[in-house]
Amino acid sequence: MNNMNQMMKQVKKMQEQMMKAQEELGTKTIEGTAGGGVVTVSINGHKKLLDIKIKPEAVDPEDIEMLQDLVLTAVNDALTKADELANQDMGKYTGGMKIPGLF
């Protein structure tokens, strides 16, 4: 029975550490870029879009599709980096296991 109590304490401590790490992800900013930096997006570790910057040279009224592609590429770049950051930060506590709904 003592082992069970000890294990429950360890699980509770791990949960607290994971929740703190999850909260800290929200304070981190990740940038994604496209087109050599003509489009830059910023998101936080919770994948909330914070900012989009588009340099004037990226805007060509004759080629709106190019700008759309650049924005999509920059957003996807930032999202990929956010996933990598979450896996790195949360992996410390999960031992590399993917826990559904956590990240």
Q: What is the mean pLDDT of residues 15-40?
A: 92
Distance (Å, rounded) from C-alpha 66 to C-alpha 69?
5
Tell me what the pLDDT averaged over the chain comes to.
88
d(CA 50, CA 26): 11
Give the residue with greater pLDDT, 38 vs 26.
38
Question: In the beta sheet, which residues pair with residue 29?
Answer: 44
The proportion of the chain whose per-residue pLDDT surpasses 90, expressed as a percent, equals: 55
pLDDT at 41: 97
Phi, psi of 45 (to 5 degrees): -65, -10
Q: Averaged over 29-56, what is the pLDDT?
A: 96
103 pLDDT above the threshold of 70: no
pTM score:
0.73
Predicted pLDDT at 35:
95
* Spatial CB neighbours of 33, under 8 Å, sequence gap ≥ 6: 39, 40, 41, 74, 77
From the DSSP assignment, how many helices (H) and strands (E) are in the chain? 2, 3
Decide: helix, strand or coil at residue 29: strand
**1 vs 55: which has the higher pLDDT:** 55
